[in-house]
Amino acid sequence: MPYSQILALIVALSLIVSAPLEAPTLSPLIIAAIWLSKVLFWYGFIFIWTRKNERLSRILPDRIVWFSNILIFIDLFVLNGKWFFPHPHGLERVGTFNEIIGLFLYFLYIIIGWAALWRASPQIREAFPQQRHFIVEKGRLILPALVPYVVAGVISDLITRIGVAHSEIFFTLVFIATIAVVLPPATCKIWGCTPLPASPLRGEIEAFLLKRRQRVREIMLWPAEGLGVCTAAVLGIIPQFRYILLTPCLLQFLNIDEIKAVLAHEMQHIKKRHMIWYVIFLLSYVAIIYRLLDPVWAFLLTKKWFLEMFIKAQNDAIYFGLLTVIPFTLSFILYFRFIMGYFMRNFEREADAAIFETDGHPMNMISALEKVAYLAGNIRENPSWHHYSIKERVEFLDRAYHNPDELERFKKKIDRLKVLFLVATTFLVALPSILPKDTWQTQAKENLTSIIIDQLIKKEGESPDVYAAIGGIFLEKGDYERAEHYLKEAMRLAPKAPDVLNNLAWLYATSKDPRFFRPKLSLRLAKLAFQQKKAPYIMDTLAEAYFVNGYIKEAILLEKQIVSLNPPRRRYYEGQLKRFMSELTRRQ
């Protein structure tokens, strides 16, 4: 399976999904010229690079799939290309249809790269005389990876379109059902597999499967021309939708005992439920990201430098794309490369060890592996992130044969690793429940307020009105410390401004924080404000200052005067008067 290319495909899909839908700043003509120049450069780069180093033709097909992600990023985040995606009448520019259009563009870059590679490489042209044949065979190897997402996405979009509410769990269930039921036959169809014809060889294979008590829907002949190696595969979790795939190369060059060794390997994948574990790995990643995204985001926003960077990114599509896409892409690649990749390598080793159950010795498996390595171009020592090298696999089988304890230790290690993974996943999924997310969100809001204030001050300059307005906002929120700070800054610039004096006096008279409850200072400031401006709200502050200093009769007289003026907030002032009179009655 082309796992590396499938990972690149998933990264491309994440770029398409997260790309902004904004009108481009450049004209369509300029964007078209840039796009055409980029395509010509892409073709020329691959062509010249391959012509200079023919050995690259073996690894470049996979690299082209990865490099195309750079091109799609430029289209979507630099040129705002998503704005130009066509869409059927009545459908918004969102959803699975939108993503399919993006994937068409992504595959266009891959096809252009492969076309340049075919043109530049005599080695590839010898294996594939027709350019179209090369592109089709390479492309259909990775197309099945799109089937679960597209099917689940289309069904989800259609249900949304007809107005039926559903959650992300529904999408996940459809996704899993598609993997189990639709993906295996669809893959066989896309790969051009055909049932293995009736023959003595097929009879031997069927008898072997029956003896191993493994049911499959069909034994398929897999052309695998795009893969170019001798290999076998098992597709499907449910027996009714499970297929065994064998390449012609494998059947031609391996004897029946070696073929049975390969089948034992594939059947061990079924017996050990490795495919189910792959689904568990995928869902675990999604669950962990889904659960940790909000708390991690809230925690990062508590860091002022990150919040400033995020605010800056919102005005820059490229910056925003890098900030949002790269962390996800890196986490995805690291997870599948190092965590899932580690399990995949060991699952392959566990499948190799099945030969001891069938033959009692590893000779046929070792022979099959050595032949496969030679036929694939002498790749015996080539490492792989999802397979151990053929050399390492052979050496393990040899050690296990001569020292059975090693095999037992390996089996126990695999069991412990599975348990450890499930425990770690459960912990990470449950972790947000105990994290102080609310505290982080509060801190993030405070940081945001602080940044906005700083930007406002930089824009407006040192203005007493700005400082007074900011101080008033914090005063209403009960943040007395910052309210006092900004009100004092306003008073520094305008010492006799009545509104500033009034707000600071109100703060000192009404503060619930003992550090800022200063009745005498409040009364002094309120009197100064009243001398400058005899408005009802300033008179009310002075009355409050009288009240907290114990001058209740003065407070009552002043509040009666306010009520007699019939001010806009008359009911509030009447409430104040009632409160003052109740306190006077209580004291008498």
Q: Are residues 427 and 310 in the same domain?
A: yes
Instruction: Count CB-CB contacts under 10 A for residue 294.
Output: 14
Q: Are residues 379 and 471 in the same domain?
A: no
In 3-state terms, what secondary structure has residue 558? helix
Q: Are residues 417 and 499 in the same domain?
A: no
Flag whether 204 is in a domain.
no
Yes or no: say if 526 and 496 are a contact pair by the CB < 8 Å rule: no
Q: Are residues 386 and 325 in the same domain?
A: yes
Q: Are residues 332 and 410 in the same domain?
A: yes
Q: Are residues 421 and 489 in the same domain?
A: no
Yes or no: say if 529 and 542 are a contact pair by the CB < 8 Å rule: yes
Position 116, amino acid = A
Q: Are residues 416 and 471 in the same domain?
A: no
Flag whether 392 is in a domain.
yes
Residue 283, classified by CB atoms within 10 Å of its CB into exposed (0-12), middle (13-18) or buried (19+), is middle
Q: Are residues 552 and 503 in the same domain?
A: yes
What domain range includes position 551?
A: 462-587
Flag whether 483 is in a domain.
yes
Show the tokens assigned to 59: 């690894």
In 3-state terms, what secondary structure has residue 549? coil
> Going residue by residue through the chain (588 aa), what tens digit of pLDDT does each one get?
577 888 888 888 888 887 877 788 888 899 999 999 999 999 999 999 888 877 777 778 888 999 999 999 888 888 888 888 766 554 454 567 778 888 999 999 999 999 999 999 888 888 888 999 889 888 888 889 888 888 888 888 788 777 776 667 788 888 889 988 999 999 999 999 999 999 999 999 999 988 888 889 999 999 876 666 788 889 988 989 999 999 998 998 999 999 999 999 999 999 999 989 988 998 899 889 888 888 888 888 788 777 777 767 666 666 666 677 778 788 888 898 899 999 999 999 999 999 998 999 999 999 999 998 888 778 888 877 788 899 999 999 999 999 989 999 999 999 999 999 999 999 999 998 888 888 888 787 777 777 767 666 666 667 788 888 888 888 887 888 888 988 998 898 888 899 999 999 999 999 988 899 999 999 999 999 999 888 999 999 999 999 999 999 999 999 999 999 888 888 999 998 999 998 888 886
Query: How many domains does the chain divide into?
Result: 2
Q: Are residues 479 and 422 in the same domain?
A: no
CATH of residue 477:
1.25.40.10
Q: Are residues 561 and 498 in the same domain?
A: yes
76 secondary structure, DSSP code: I
Show the tokens assigned to 369: 């592996």
Q: Are residues 400 and 474 in the same domain?
A: no
Q: Which of 412, 431, 450 is the last residue of a domain?
A: 431
Q: How far apart (Å, rounded) are the C-alpha atoms in residues 113 and 67?
A: 9
Q: Are residues 422 and 550 in the same domain?
A: no
Q: Which residues of 364-374 are buried (b: 16+ CB within 10 A; e: fewer)?
A: bbbbbbebbbe
**Residue 324 β-bridge partners:** none
In 3-state terms, what secondary structure has residue 246? strand
Length of the chain in terms of residues written: 588
